[in-house]
Amino acid sequence: MTLGNTDWGGLAVLTLRNPRAAAAQLINWQLPRGVIWTALALVSCCNAILAGVAELLFPSPVPLPSIMMNPLMLFILLAGGMVVTVHALLWAGRAVGGQGELEDVAIVLTWLQALRAAAQAAVVVLALISPALAGMFAMVVMFIGLWVMANFIAQALSFSSAWKAFGLMVALMIGLAFGIIVLLAVTGLGVWGLDANV
């Protein structure tokens, strides 16, 4: 597969029109695992940079943990979170009857993150023109992203329905949230750059 000949714009449009078909196309590329992980790292780097730029241009009214203000730490957090998400979706999906390989889940999520990076860049540009419009656009992107992700996961794990994939995503998010709460309770909030005595 020669990626240089890929119609990326057409693939992005197909992702919005028929996400399962787009996911099938990505999976059929059968890229080596190393290539996919490298792409995931690059996309995570782009997302971290864009998040940093957005925070510099439009500081959050709520103080953020110091880890979120460090580009390198944010990159590690994003990339590490993606790796964990890929493995968690694969293992949980197989536990409920799904089929698929690690590369299948990794490549569809990497492409989704690439699209989110493009959308985040668009949000930053729109915010310079109209913050209200940027907020509305970001909300639309969030809902579309969830729909696309559910279809991507359904295709990667050979689920018959995107709703099954969506249920799996919700269950994993609840489990992750619980795990973070337990981690913070054990280690203290200071690990996140907050005052553990608050």
Q: Which residue type does 21 have?
A: A
Alpha-carbon distance of 70 to 34, in angstroms, equals 27
CA-based torsion, 90, 95, 96, 101: positive or negative: positive
* pLDDT one digit per residue (tens) for the chain, 198 residues: 556 677 889 999 999 999 999 999 999 999 999 999 999 999 999 988 888 787 777 776 666 666 666 778 888 888 888 999 999 999 999 988 888 899 999 999 999 999 999 998 998 889 888 888 988 998 999 999 999 999 999 999 999 888 999 998 998 888 877 777 876 677 655 444 444 444
Domain that holds residue 23: 15-192
Alpha-carbon distance of 85 to 168, in angstroms, equals 12
Count the domains in the chain. 1
The distance from CA 174 to its chain's CA centroid, rounded to whole angstroms, is: 16
Residue 73 lies in a domain: yes
- Eight-class DSSP state of 59: -
**Strand, helix or coil for residue 81:** helix
**Strand, helix or coil for residue 186:** helix
Cα angle, residue 88 at apex, residues 85 and 91 outer, rounded to 5°: 150
Residue 138 lies in a domain: yes
Alpha-carbon distance of 84 to 58, in angstroms, equals 30
Residue 4 lies in a domain: no
Q: What is the pTM of this model?
A: 0.83
Residue 9 lies in a domain: no
The torsion angle over the Cα atoms of residues 51, 18, 154 and 174, rounded to 10 degrees, is 40
Residue 67 lies in a domain: yes
Q: Which tokens belong to 51?
A: 């998040």
Q: Where are the beta strands (DSSP E) in the chain?
A: none
- Eight-class DSSP state of 7: -
* Contact call for residues 71 and 140 (beta carbons, < 8 A): no
Residue 59 lies in a domain: yes
Alpha-carbon distance of 110 to 39, in angstroms, equals 7
